[in-house]
Each structure stands twice: as C-alpha cells, then as structure tokens.
Structure 1
Amino acid sequence: MDALGTIAVVLAALALVVSGLALRRTQRRSDGSDLPSDLLGLRREVAALRTEAGDGLRHLAVVRYDAFGDMGGHLSWSLALLDDRGDGVVVTSIHGRSEGRTYAKSIASWTSDQQLSPEEDEAVAQART
C-alpha cells in the first residue's frame, strides 16, 4: 500500500472515531429527534433567561408636552417603565417658568390606583404596544 492509501485509511478511521463520539453525546428526545446533550442544556438555560427577562423593564415610552399654555418647547414629559406583566412606574416631570416638579405613580397590570393624567395614560398605552 502506498503512502496515499495509508493516509486515506487513517483519515477514514479517524472519521469513524469522531462520529462515534458524536453519537455518544446525543440523547433521544421524546419527539424522536437526536440532539447533543450540551444543546439540550443550552435550551434549558435560554428558557430560564426568558423567564427572568419577564421581570425586566422592557416596555418604555416617553410622552413630551407643554404643561402650561404660556410655555413652549415640550419641556414637560411622562415616562412609563413597565415589565411584561405591566408592572412598574410612570415618572412625570412638569416644567414651569419658575419651578419644576416630578411625580412617580406605580402601575400594576397596566393600570394605576392613582389618577393618571392624559399624558401618563398615553405613555402607558405606548409602552404596552
């Protein structure tokens, strides 16, 4: 056998060993498909991360407006910061000529126990979509 034939036999044997190891690392799933065990572990981790991410403030919206008729520039604003369940807060800053005020109102299930201004309602509605 020449050198080229020997190399081909060694590469074929190596390919068989690698494929055998790959088959050992697979698990049969309930649907009959085969997946490597490390891939199944990654799927579990992704599912856990998605569950945790639901608590993150992912629904955000800002509404800018003029709170007073004699003021321009849309310097007042309402900011909604909510998670996937609609829980969070609406922060509002009212800018006037001589003073500024800031308010925070809690939100649960996309609604508030406190009276929301039209701009705060709009911020919650925009964050929900």
Structure 2
Amino acid sequence: MTFLVVLSLVVALAALAIAAVVLRRTPAPRGDVDAVPEDVVGLRQEVAALRAEAKGALRHLGLVRYDAFGDVGGRQSWSLALVDDDGNGVVLTAIHGRSEARSYAKSIVDWRSEQPMSPEEQDAVASAKP
C-alpha cells in the first residue's frame, strides 16, 4: 500500500513538472497579429478624416468687452470673433448705449475683413489667432 502511495506521488509530481514546462513554452495569446497593422492604418485614416473635418470648424474665438460710450459703463458692448484654423469666420459686435443697442456682423477671410473693423473688432480677431 505504501508503494502505491509513493508511486502516486511520483506520478503526480511528474505530471506537475511536465505541465509547468509546457506552460512556460506556450506563448501567451496575443490575438490576430495580422489584424493589428490594418487596425492601426484604419485608426490613422479616421484621425486624419476627423482633423480635416475639424479644420473648417469655428474653434478659435476672441472676445473683447468695452464701454462704447463715455456715459455708459459696465463694459456692456462687446466684439466676438469666431474663426476656423485658416482664419475664416465672422466677427460679431454689439454696441449698447443708454437708449439703444446695435449689432453688427462682419465676415472674416484669412484673418481680415473687407469691411472696415473697429479697434475692438481687430483686437477680437487678433486674440482669436492660435
């Protein structure tokens, strides 16, 4: 009986040793290696497409608040420039007085406007530049 117990232990230890050797030699599963370059290329194409799409977005802004008239305080007047990466967009201006308010919109192309801009509008466009 003792012989069978010892023989069982020896067989069990041998099986454990063989299992350990086999596990060491087996590479860890890493997925489909051939699919990785395609995924990277696809991701790069997607990022390039998103960058191209975002280039035309009005993502740069500049805001200038000021007192347009000497008798009105609180910097209630403002000029806001909204432009894309190429400097195309719009500058919006609201001038508030005691009895009236006026608003203006001027197009911006390549960081300039065809219409004359006030110093505050020019400051708003300049502060929108990245």
Provide TM-score, normalisation by structure 2.
0.80
Greater RCO (CA < 8 Å, at least 6 residues apart):
2
* Structure 2 gap segments, 5+ residues each: 1-13
Structure 1: 5+ residue stretches without partners: 27-35
Deviation at 1:3, TM superposition (A): 2.7
Counting only pairs closer than 5 Å after superposition, residues 1-129 of structure 1 correspond to structure 2 as 1-10=14-23, 12-13=25-26, 15=27, 18=29, 21-22=32-33, 24-26=34-36, 36-129=37-130
* Distance across 2 between alignment mates of 1:19 and 1:122: 56
Report the Cα distance in structure 2 between the residues aligned to 1:43 and 1:54, rounded to whole angstroms. Answer: 16
Give the deviation of 1:53 after TM superposition. Answer: 0.7
**Cα distance in 2 between the residues matched to 1:89 and 1:69:** 27
Displacement of 1:10 in angstroms is 4.4
**Aligned CA-pair RMSD:** 1.9
Query: Cα 1:66–1:20, aligned 2, differ >3 Å: closer, same or farther?
Result: closer
State the number of aligned residues: 117
Match of 2:10 in 1: none
Give the TM-score normalised by the residue count of structure 1. Answer: 0.81
Cα deviation, residue 91, structure 1: 0.4
Question: Which SS does the other structure have where 1:46 is aligned?
Answer: helix
Residues 9-51 of structure 1: CA deviation (Å, up to 9, x unaligned): 14633x26x35842x335xxxxxxxxx3211210111111111
Question: Which one-letter code corresponds to 1:5 in the other structure?
Answer: I
| CA displacement at 1:100 relative to structure 2 | 1.0
Q: Mark the CA change 1:100 to 1:8 in structure 2 (over 3 Å): closer, same or farther.
A: farther
**Structure 1's 96 and 4: CA in aligned 2 closer, same or farther, altered over 3 A?**
farther
Change (3 A) 1:62 1:19: closer
2: CA distance, partners of 1:5 / 1:62: 73
